Amino acid sequence: MSDVVEKTLTALPSLLSLDSHPGSAKLSSTSKLGNLIRGITELTSKHEEEKLIQHELLAIKEQVSSPNTTMRQMKELMVRSIYCEMLGYEASFSYIHAIKLAQQGTVLEKRVGYLAVSLFLNESHELLLLLVNTVLKDLQSTNLIEVCMALTVVSQMFPKDMIPAILPLVEEKLNHPKEIIRRKAVLALYKFYLIAPNQVQHIHNKFRKALCDKDPGVMTASLHIYLQMIQENPEAYKDLTPSFVTILKQVVGGKLPMDFNYHTVPAPWLQIQLLRILSLLGKNDQSTSEVMYEVLDESLQRAEMNHNITYAILYECVKCIYTIHPKSDLLEKAAKCIGNFVLSPKINLKYLGLKALTYVVQQDPKLALQHQMTIIECLDHPDLIIKRETLELLFRITNGQNVTVIVEKMLEFLCISEDDHTTIDLVGKVAELAEKYPLKYNEWFIETMNTVFSLGGDMMQPDIPNSFLKLLSEGFDSVEEDRKLRLFAVNSYIPLLRGEPGKLPQRFLQVISWVLGEYSHLREDLEPAEVLSLLAKLLDMKNSSSETKSWVLMAMTKLCKGGADASVTQEVSETYSSSLDTVLRQRAHELQYLSQDPELRARVLPRGAKPETLEVDSSLSFLDRFVSEALAAGAAPYKPPHQRQEELDQSKALSLEPYGLSLPISMSSCSITDRQSPTLLSMSSGLSGDTLKLDGIKRVWGREGYLAQREPVEEAAQVEVPSPIQSPGRQGEGDSLHSQTPTQTPTPEPEQEKQQLASSLFVGLASQSSVSLMGKSEPMPQRFRRKAKGQGLGSSFIANEQISSSLISPPSAVDNLLCNNLLDSNNASELAEQTSQLSQSLTTANGTCHAEAELTESDTKGCNPALRRDNCVVAAGPGPHNDPGRLTEVCLDSYLPAELSGLSHSEIAPLCANQSLNLSACHVQKEDSLILVVFIMNSSESAIQQIPAGEVTSYSVAVGQYSLTVKRPAVHVEVVGTVSYQLPAGTSQSLQFSYKVPLTSFIRPFVVSTEEYGTMWLSFSHDTKQNLTLINDNQEPLTATLNALKKKLQLHVVEVIGMEGIVACRLLQDLPCLMHCRVNAGWLAVWLRSPVPDLPDCLIYHCQRALQSL
Per-residue buried b or exposed e for 1025-1059, using 16+ beta carbons within 10 Å of the residue's own CB:
ebbbebbeeeeebbebbbebbbebbbbbbbebeee
C-alpha closest to that of 607 among 524, 518, 673, 522? 518
| Residue 432 C-beta: closest distance to other proteins, Å | 16
| Residue 807 C-beta: closest distance to other proteins, Å | 41
- Residue partners of 967: CB distance under 8 A and separation at least 6: 837, 838, 841
| Residue 240 C-beta: closest distance to other proteins, Å | 19
End-to-end CA distance of the chain, in Å?
A: 77
| Residue 389 C-beta: closest distance to other proteins, Å | 9
**CB closer to other proteins, 12 vs 600:** 12
Burial class of 647 by CB neighbour count within 10 A (0 to 12, 13 to 18, 19+): middle
| Residue 149 C-beta: closest distance to other proteins, Å | 9
* Residue 919, H or E segment: strand 917-926
What 3-state DSSP class applies to 905?
Answer: strand
**CB closer to other proteins, 37 vs 947:** 37
| Residue 32 C-beta: closest distance to other proteins, Å | 12
**CB closer to other proteins, 44 vs 66:** 44
**CB closer to other proteins, 122 vs 578:** 122
Return the beta strands (E) in 939-1017 as ranges: 944-946, 951-952, 957-964, 972-982, 988-998, 1003-1005
| Residue 91 C-beta: closest distance to other proteins, Å | 10
**CB closer to other proteins, 184 vs 968:** 184
**CB closer to other proteins, 203 vs 221:** 221
| Residue 279 C-beta: closest distance to other proteins, Å | 12
| Residue 1007 C-beta: closest distance to other proteins, Å | 38
| Residue 38 C-beta: closest distance to other proteins, Å | 8
Question: DSSP H helical segments within 605-640, as ranges?
Answer: 624-632
Distance from C-alpha of 64 to C-alpha of 61, rounded to nearest angstrom: 5
* Cis peptide, bond prior to residue 948, ω within 30 of zero: yes
What 3-state DSSP class applies to 995?
Answer: strand
| Residue 285 C-beta: closest distance to other proteins, Å | 21
- Residue partners of 256: CB distance under 8 A and separation at least 6: 216, 250, 266, 267
| Contact status, residue 1004 vs residue 1066, Cβ threshold 8 Å | yes
- Residue partners of 1047: CB distance under 8 A and separation at least 6: none
| Residue 394 C-beta: closest distance to other proteins, Å | 16
**CB closer to other proteins, 44 vs 904:** 44
**CB closer to other proteins, 459 vs 819:** 459
**CB closer to other proteins, 199 vs 747:** 199
* Residue 130, H or E segment: helix 129-139
What 3-state DSSP class applies to 345?
Answer: coil
Q: Which amino acid is at 47?
A: H
Q: List, in sequence order, every residue forming a beta bridge with 1029; answer none if it has no partner.
A: 1083
**CB closer to other proteins, 191 vs 1102:** 191
Provide the pairing of β-strand 909-913 with 265-266: unpaired
What 3-state DSSP class applies to 176?
Answer: coil
**CB closer to other proteins, 184 vs 558:** 184
**CB closer to other proteins, 271 vs 846:** 271
**CB closer to other proteins, 103 vs 156:** 156
Q: List, in sequence order, every residue forming a beta bridge with 1052; answer none if it has no partner.
A: 1064
For residue 353, count other CB atoms closer than 10 A to its CB: 26
Distance from C-alpha of 1028 to C-alpha of 1049, rounded to nearest angstrom: 15
| Residue 785 C-beta: closest distance to other proteins, Å | 47
**CB closer to other proteins, 65 vs 348:** 348
Distance from C-alpha of 295 to C-alpha of 547, rounded to nearest angstrom: 61
- Residue partners of 737: CB distance under 8 A and separation at least 6: 671, 685, 686, 689, 690, 773
**CB closer to other proteins, 228 vs 676:** 228
| Residue 525 C-beta: closest distance to other proteins, Å | 46
**CB closer to other proteins, 15 vs 866:** 15
Cα torsion 818, 820, 823, 828: sign: negative
Question: DSSP H helical segments within 764-864, as ranges?
Answer: 773-777, 779-793, 797-823, 827-846, 849-860
Distance from C-alpha of 1080 to C-alpha of 843, rounded to nearest angstrom: 45
| Residue 119 C-beta: closest distance to other proteins, Å | 7
| Residue 373 C-beta: closest distance to other proteins, Å | 20
**CB closer to other proteins, 267 vs 515:** 267
| Residue 177 C-beta: closest distance to other proteins, Å | 16
Provide the pairing of β-strand 944-946 with 972-982: antiparallel
C-alpha closest to that of 776 among 687, 704, 700? 687
Burial class of 92 by CB neighbour count within 10 A (0 to 12, 13 to 18, 19+): exposed
* Residue 52, H or E segment: helix 46-65
Helices (H) and strands (E) in the chain, counts: 50, 16
**CB closer to other proteins, 158 vs 701:** 158
| Residue 97 C-beta: closest distance to other proteins, Å | 15
Burial class of 1107 by CB neighbour count within 10 A (0 to 12, 13 to 18, 19+): middle
C-alpha closest to that of 973 among 902, 1067, 1047? 1067
